[in-house]
A and B are shown apart, each in its own frame.
Chain A
Amino acid sequence: MPWFRKKKGKIEPVRDEERVVRTENVFVRCEECGEHLYKKELEEALQVCVHCSYHFRLGAYDRLEKLFDDGYCEELDAEVVSTDPLEFVDSKPYVNRIAQAQRATGLPEAVITARGKVGGHRVFGGAMDMNFIGGSMGSAVGEKLTRLIEHAMKERGAVIIFAASGGARMQEGTLSLMQMAKISAALAALEERHLPFISVLTDPTTGGVTASFAMLGDLIIAEPKALVGFAGPRVIEQTIRQKLPKDFQRSEFLLSHGMIDEIVDRREMRPYIIKALDFMMNPAITSESTAQLSGLKFQVSGSHP
């Protein structure tokens, strides 16, 4: 008599196509090193790969939540949205493109602005989102950022903007270009009031955004390996007819060329910003003292209602 006996019958063989472990929404593959990452762990690490420190792209609301104390902030000017001033039609009408972007991202516009505290300092923060028509800057983005700077001047707070953009929004033509000048003029007024502007460059920051506010920070910091430049790499390759070096226009390239202050890992970003704000937000500087100091050139009477 055998020692062991099969009590159950034969086990049904599993068909090959059913031999899968269901891991959707549990694991993600790192785009850089190919390692599989536990999604929950990745979220805890602020969307940074724990193996190779690859920084995944982050949405605008996530950015702001990770910036402010306890993730608490109050959204500003959410009602400002894009319209179609030129009645622009490419492969589809621009109005449809806007509506589609709003549906797909759940964002009202390519930038989200908010008021809150960072390390106890009053901060006016903005974050751009690449998923909204390539993070492009049209009139609404320009208006929201200009208002953000004006809010900061009125309430004497710091401005922090996370840039992520393909550049100016073509579909709004020259009006988009003018947003560069508009935001820069507002920053000139902010500077006169001795209030800080911290510019954070994230992957990718190019075109008109780089050539305006993104490069005007009192402090300019970048996430590792972010693409940052004015002309896009493809345009340059077409012009000079040769391949570009691999690290060209990356954060590390900008740091070594003296264009930015520091490369900061996303997980270190908040403490780094707080240290900078501790230095820059000097309580001895008030609206009266700055007015006395330089005699303000800008009255900024033309701000929005």
Chain B
Amino acid sequence: MRLQSRPRQREAQRKLLMAEKNRLSPGHSTSAFERVQLARHPERPHTLDFIERLFEDFTEIHGDRRYADDPAIVCGFARFHATPALIVGHQKGRDTKQRQFRNFGMPKPEGYRKAIRAMKLAEKFERPIFCFIDTPGAYPGIDAEERGQAEAIAYNLREMAKLVVPVIVTVIGEGGSGGALAIGVGDQVLMLENAIYSVISPEGCAAILWKDSSQAARAAEELRLTAPDLQQEGIVDQVIEEPKGGAQNSHDEAARLLDPVLWERLAESLTNNVPDRLDRRYRKLRQLGKWGTSEATGTP
């Protein structure tokens, strides 16, 4: 597998530096809960909005070949700067009808199974994979449980660790727990500035810990679910700048800021041969977590 053109690389680097500079500029103190609200903003660009702006010739594929097609996850072939690639992403709707159709971006087991089926196609034909995460979480319903959503998520986690092709993950909105992680194991994990990624929603956390979901703002602070927090913990490799005030203000600008980073990261991942790539992916996951030893506590 080779990149077929690299014309934008230099420009990409320049943009990257700019983005880094802007991010570090003073007066930058959006609270965790403000970011939660931005991540859920109804006008925020969703997966299909980014596909439209970053990729050419998107060809959607459907169904898990077992039970159904899940509209909460979209999969398809496309070209990224002329390089054929697979796209997998959660899709939320914008109006009420669309939202219902997409089940508010909450996948059912068939969604995860469609995703891994598509990813194995990409592996077979040696094409890179781009994953876009934007979901409140797995769908908590009877049918999803009956069809084994825990198994579907677990299977994806194990199989994605083994994919021989580059996997670039971008959290573009909400990264809701297992439903997000099920398409989130990759060589690179990127995150938009106002996206969130959490083990539980702030409301759910507050309901359990304080028996009061109105404490969500406090939970959001405690959970450390923002992009800068997660970069610090080594979960996220790079935080991507958004248009002023949030990505909802300009989809075009949001895509323009993401584009060079995706390109860079893909190029980086392609420089590794397969054993190196898998070894790196394993080591990246392997070092996640902070624990202590019973004699003296500290980070490993």
Q: Which residues of A does B touch, CB under 8 Å?
A: 78-83, 85-86, 88-91, 108, 138-140, 142-143, 146, 168-170, 172-182, 184-189, 191-192, 207-208, 210-216, 229-231, 235-236, 239-240, 244, 248-249, 257-259, 297-304
Q: Which residue in A86, A174, A303 is a CB contact (below 8 Å) of B286?
A: A303
How far is it, in angstroms, between the C-alpha of A194 and the C-alpha of B178 when the chains are bound? 27
Q: Which residue in A175, A184, A301 is a CB contact (below 8 Å) of B235?
A: A175
Q: How far is the CB of A171 from chain B (nearest CB, A)?
A: 8
Assuming the contacts A86-B223, A174-B225, A298-B278, asked whether A181 and B199 have C-beta atoms less than 8 A apart, the reply is no
The 8 A-B pairs at the shortest CB distance, nearest first, are namely A302-B283, A139-B289, A231-B140, A184-B157, A185-B161, A210-B150, A90-B209, A230-B150
Most central of B197, B199, B205, B233 by chain A CB within 10 Å: B199
Across the interface, do B275 and A297 meet the contact criterion of CB distance under 8 Å?
yes
Measured between beta carbons, the chain A residues less than 8 angstroms from B178 are 177, 180, 207-208, 211, 230
Across the interface, do B185 and A211 meet the contact criterion of CB distance under 8 Å?
no
Across the interface, do B161 and A184 meet the contact criterion of CB distance under 8 Å?
yes
Across the interface, do A174 and B199 meet the contact criterion of CB distance under 8 Å?
yes
How far is it, in angstroms, between the C-alpha of A58 and the C-alpha of B209 when the chains are bound? 26
Q: Which residue in A90, A212, A229, A299 is a CB contact (below 8 Å) of B157?
A: A212
Measured between beta carbons, the chain B residues less than 8 angstroms from A207 are 178
Q: Which residue in A174, A182, A236, A259 is a CB contact (below 8 Å) of B285?
A: A182
Across the interface, do A188 and B158 meet the contact criterion of CB distance under 8 Å?
yes
Across the interface, do B222 and A90 meet the contact criterion of CB distance under 8 Å?
yes
Residue contacts A-B, CB under 8 angstroms, 20 given: A81-B292, A81-B293, A90-B209, A138-B291, A139-B289, A174-B233, A177-B197, A178-B235, A180-B157, A184-B157, A187-B158, A188-B159, A208-B177, A216-B155, A240-B142, A248-B145, A259-B148, A298-B278, A301-B283, A303-B286
Assuming the contacts A146-B286, A298-B279, asked whether A177 and B222 have C-beta atoms less than 8 A apart, the reply is no
Across the interface, do B199 and A211 meet the contact criterion of CB distance under 8 Å?
no
Q: How far is the CB of A253 from chain B (nearest CB, A)?
A: 8
Across the interface, do A211 and B291 meet the contact criterion of CB distance under 8 Å?
no
Across the interface, do B285 and A173 meet the contact criterion of CB distance under 8 Å?
no
Q: How far is the CB of A86 from chain B (nearest CB, A)?
A: 5
Across the interface, do B142 and A244 meet the contact criterion of CB distance under 8 Å?
yes
Across the interface, do B198 and A240 meet the contact criterion of CB distance under 8 Å?
no
How far is it, in angstroms, between the C-alpha of A177 and the C-alpha of B138 when the chains are bound? 13
Assuming the contacts A170-B208, A177-B181, A188-B161, asked whether A81 and B154 have C-beta atoms less than 8 A apart, the reply is no
How far is it, in angstroms, between the C-alpha of A88 and the C-alpha of B148 when the chains are bound? 32
Measured between beta carbons, the chain B residues less than 8 angstroms from A236 are 140-142, 145
How far is it, in angstroms, between the C-alpha of A182 and the C-alpha of B288 when the chains are bound? 7
Measured between beta carbons, the chain B residues less than 8 angstroms from A244 are 142
Across the interface, do B151 and A215 meet the contact criterion of CB distance under 8 Å?
yes
Q: How far is the CB of A193 from chain B (nearest CB, A)?
A: 13
Measured between beta carbons, the chain A residues less than 8 angstroms from B162 are 188, 192, 297
Not counting A81-B291, A174-B224, a sample of 16 additional A-B residue pairs whose C-beta atoms are within 8 angstroms of each other reads: A79-B293, A80-B292, A83-B291, A85-B233, A174-B233, A177-B197, A178-B288, A182-B286, A208-B199, A211-B178, A230-B138, A230-B153, A231-B141, A240-B141, A297-B162, A302-B283
Quick one: closest A residue to B205, CB to CB?
A: A170
Across the interface, do B279 and A83 meet the contact criterion of CB distance under 8 Å?
no
Measured between beta carbons, the chain A residues less than 8 angstroms from B274 are 297
Across the interface, do B290 and A139 meet the contact criterion of CB distance under 8 Å?
yes
Measured between beta carbons, the chain A residues less than 8 angstroms from B298 are 83
How far is it, in angstroms, between the C-alpha of A198 and the C-alpha of B205 when the chains are bound? 32
Across the interface, do B164 and A81 meet the contact criterion of CB distance under 8 Å?
no
Measured between beta carbons, the chain A residues less than 8 angstroms from B140 are 230-231, 235-236, 239
Quick one: closest B residue to A80, CB to CB?
A: B291
Across the interface, do A179 and B288 meet the contact criterion of CB distance under 8 Å?
yes
Measured between beta carbons, the chain B residues less than 8 angstroms from A216 are 154-155, 158
Measured between beta carbons, the chain A residues less than 8 angstroms from B200 are 168, 170
How far is it, in angstroms, between the C-alpha of A170 and the C-alpha of B225 when the chains are bound? 11
Across the interface, do A230 and B149 meet the contact criterion of CB distance under 8 Å?
yes
Q: How far is the CB of B207 from chain A (nearest CB, A)?
A: 9
Measured between beta carbons, the chain B residues less than 8 angstroms from A192 are 162
Most central of B151, B182, B204, B223 by chain A CB within 10 Å: B151
Across the interface, do A175 and B138 meet the contact criterion of CB distance under 8 Å?
no
How far is it, in angstroms, between the C-alpha of A90 and the C-alpha of B53 when the chains are bound? 42
Across the interface, do B150 and A215 meet the contact criterion of CB distance under 8 Å?
yes
Across the interface, do B150 and A173 meet the contact criterion of CB distance under 8 Å?
no
Measured between beta carbons, the chain A residues less than 8 angstroms from B208 are 170
Across the interface, do B150 and A86 meet the contact criterion of CB distance under 8 Å?
no
Q: How far is the CB of A87 from chain B (nearest CB, A)?
A: 9
How far is it, in angstroms, between the C-alpha of A80 and the C-alpha of B138 when the chains are bound? 31
Q: Which residues of chain B (243-300) have a CB below 8 Å from chain A?
A: 274-275, 278-279, 281-283, 285-295, 297-300
B125 on the interface (CB 8 Å rule)? no
B16 on the interface (CB 8 Å rule)? no
Across the interface, do A90 and B210 meet the contact criterion of CB distance under 8 Å?
yes
Quick one: closest A residue to B223, CB to CB?
A: A173
B230 on the interface (CB 8 Å rule)? yes
Across the interface, do B279 and A108 meet the contact criterion of CB distance under 8 Å?
no
Measured between beta carbons, the chain A residues less than 8 angstroms from B283 are 301-302
Across the interface, do A178 and B285 meet the contact criterion of CB distance under 8 Å?
yes
Q: Which residue in A169, A212, A300 is a CB contact (below 8 Å) of B282?
A: A300
Quick one: closest A residue to B210, CB to CB?
A: A90
Quick one: closest A residue to B176, CB to CB?
A: A177
Quick one: closest B residue to A192, CB to CB?
A: B162
Measured between beta carbons, the chain B residues less than 8 angstroms from A79 are 293-295
Q: How far is the CB of B239 from chain A (nearest CB, A)?
A: 14
Across the interface, do A302 and B233 meet the contact criterion of CB distance under 8 Å?
no
